[in-house]
Amino acid sequence: MTKKLILLIGAALLTVALVLYIFFARGRADHPVVPDDAPAVAVIHPQELLSSLQTTEEDLLHLFQIKESRGAGLNLQRPVYAFLSKDDKIGLSATLSDKQDLESFLSGYDIALTSENGYQWAQYKNMLLTFDARRVLAAGPVSKDEVATLRRQMCQWMESSSRKNPLLTQAEEEQGIVGISTYAHAALLHCLGLSVGSLPFALDDEDLQLTGALSAHDNTAQLALSLKAHNPALQEILEALGQVALPIATETTALAPDEPFLSARLNLNGEHLLNLLRRHPALRTALVALNLAIDADKMIRSISGDVQIVLPTYITAPSDWLLTAALTDTRFLDDAPSWQHGIMSSLFNFRALSDTDFTLTTDNKTYHLGVRNKRLYLTPSPLLAAIACLETSSPAQPIPADTRLFATADIHSLLAHLRPETSSRPIPNTARLTLMLSEGTSTPIMQNAKRKMQKNDGPATEGHQLQLQLIFQTDRPIAQWLQHLIQP
Per-residue pLDDT of the chain (488 residues; tens, 9 = 90+): 454 434 333 433 333 333 333 333 444 445 789 999 998 999 999 999 888 888 877 776 666 666 555 557 889 889 999 999 988 899 999 999 999 999 998 988 889 999 988 899 999 999 999 999 999 999 999 999 999 999 999 999 999 877 889 999 999 999 999 999 998 766 666 555 556 566 666 667 677 888 999 999 888 999 999 988 877 877 777 777 778 888 888 777 778 888 888 899 999 999 989 998 898 888 898 888 888 878 889 999 999 989 999 988 765 555 789 999 999 999 999 988 888 776 666 677 888 999 999 998 888 889 999 999 999 999 999 999 999 988 887 777 788 888 989 999 888 777 766 665 434 555 555 788 898 988 764 433 333 333 333 333 333 345 567 888 999 988 888 888 877 776 65
Q: Please indicate, yes or no, whether residues 256 and 375 belong to a single structural domain of this protein.
A: yes
Dist CA 305 CA 326 (whole Å): 5
Of 111, 129, 164, the residue at which a domain comes to its end is: 164
40 and 135: one domain?
yes
Give the whole-angstrom CA distance, residue 242 versus residue 403: 11
* pLDDT at residue 345, as a whole number: 63
* CA proximity to 257, closest of 391, 419, 381: 391
Residue ending a domain, among 387, 422, 441, is 387
In a domain, 406, yes or no: yes
Supply the pLDDT for residue 25: 41
Residue 344 lies in a domain: yes
Residue 7 lies in a domain: no
Q: Are residues 214 and 269 in the same domain?
A: no
Task: Tell whether 37 and 160 lie within a shared domain.
Answer: yes
Total number of domains in the chain: 3
Classified as helix, coil or strand, 328 is coil
Exposure string over 347-372, b if 16+ CB within 10 A, otherwise e:
ebebeeeeeebbbbeeeeeeebbbbe
Examine residue 19 and state whether it is found in any structural domain, yes or no: no
User: Which DSSP state fits 459?
Assistant: P
The answer to whether position 5 is within a domain reads no
Query: What is the rounded distance in angstroms from the CA atom of residue 220 to the CA atom of residue 378?
Result: 34
DSSP, res 461: P
Residues ≥6 apart with Cβ < 8 Å to 15: none
Domain end point (choices 387, 412, 431): 387
User: CA-based diameter of the chain, in Å?
Assistant: 114
* 38 shares its domain with 158: yes
146 and 55 both lie in a single domain: yes
Q: Which of 231, 243, 186 is nearest to 439 (CA)?
A: 243
CA distance 386 to 370: 11
Distances (CA, A) of 285 to 87, 277, 280, 281, 389: 38, 10, 9, 6, 30
Cα-based distances in Å from 480 to 55, 340, 476, 484: 10, 58, 7, 6
CB-based burial, 176-187: b 16+ in 10 Å, e otherwise: bbbbbbbbbbbe
Report pLDDT for 13: 37
Domain range for 90 is 31-164
Same domain? For 270 and 362 the reply is yes
* 270 inside domain: yes
In a domain, 1, yes or no: no
Separation of CA 233 from chain center = 23
The pLDDT, as a whole number, for residue 465 is 77
- 468 falls within a domain: yes
Asked if 485 and 478 count as a contact pair (C-beta separation under 8 A), the reply is no
Judge whether 446 and 463 are in contact, CB under 8 Å: no
Separation CA 380–CA 367 (nearest Å): 4
Instruction: Note if the bond before 141 is cis, omega within 30 degrees.
Output: yes
- The whole model's pTM is what? 0.77
Question: Same structural domain for residues 350 and 291?
Answer: yes
> Is there a single domain that holds both residue 377 and residue 403?
no
Residue from 133, 234, 239, 138 nearest 188 by CA: 234
- Reduced to 3 states, what is the DSSP secondary structure of residue 48? helix
Same domain, 36 and 158: yes
Of 309, 307, 311, nearest to 319 by C-alpha is 311
Provide the pLDDT for residue 123.
Answer: 94
Same-domain pairing of 445 and 476: yes
Non-local (6+) Cβ contacts of 278 within 8 A are: 284, 287
Same domain, 383 and 296: yes
